[in-house]
Structure 1
């Protein structure tokens, strides 16, 4: 991969990673409810889930989905169910303090975050774009692994900004019922951010 291609990939990775989307809304909500350190499994799960997807697409999984549309349909149905479950979990959370009965019991786990990315149609589309655009036919596997490494270096710090931003809001949201309103808003944003991908033909 040339220096120019690496810079272009880093720019693409930054824009895709930092821009609003379902994974980043989850990170913002988790940071606000649990703080940054307890949201780290979510950060790494989201990143690993996506990077695993890039590798899968790179070795032919994307072609399998194209040849068997029923698999992609099943993916979208599973994604819709999972997003609604996550939104319900976030939206029902009401408190930051210990001992509150309606607070989220625990942050979204590393495994749940990884699965979320694997069920995210937007992430599949980005994975397809990046593997087609930034790999070389002459040294395909090497360029694919290098692509994944570069994307990881940019992706993890970029999405961490969302968890840090949520954590910075904790003191503000701890007053009154602000956290309840915030979590309902995050749940609605999560659903809205996924709706175009889930409803497209």
Structure 2
């Protein structure tokens, strides 16, 4: 139970104050536990930040979008883009994602934690569903570059016209590229064999 309390408090605190201004003591106070408990459970602020990211950017949601359900559309890119943008637009996750990504671009420890999260959780999960191996990992990274770039310009920096387009239009425009990265023949993409 204390682990969940600490994670919830950390997610809220990181979203509100950013990585640099958040302290383990403040998180402990918010969670109503001793600061030593936070260190015992997570080891460091960087590791706690990484775990907090998983609550917001749940890799299982992206894997589910890749796998698709019976009532999903057939286009893998459309499912991925719609799911990913949904995380950025959902009231319960939007502010947290923006704050955590901003922290990751401005603070070295947060950057390390974010990179580790993407490599160890997101890319690993996505590449596994694509069949595993280096090619699958590279495909996942290429798709992620489109998704992250779109999110940075649309939600973090707010560059028009991308930031002003309806979500359905963004999905329609970005999905073909994501689909291509995930499904095109390796030779067509120029992937190393």
Q: TM-score interval w.r.t. the shorter chain?
A: 0.3 to 0.5
Larger RCO: 1 or 2 (CA < 8 Å, sep 6+): 1
TM-score (ref. length: structure 2): 0.33
TM-score (ref. length: structure 1): 0.32
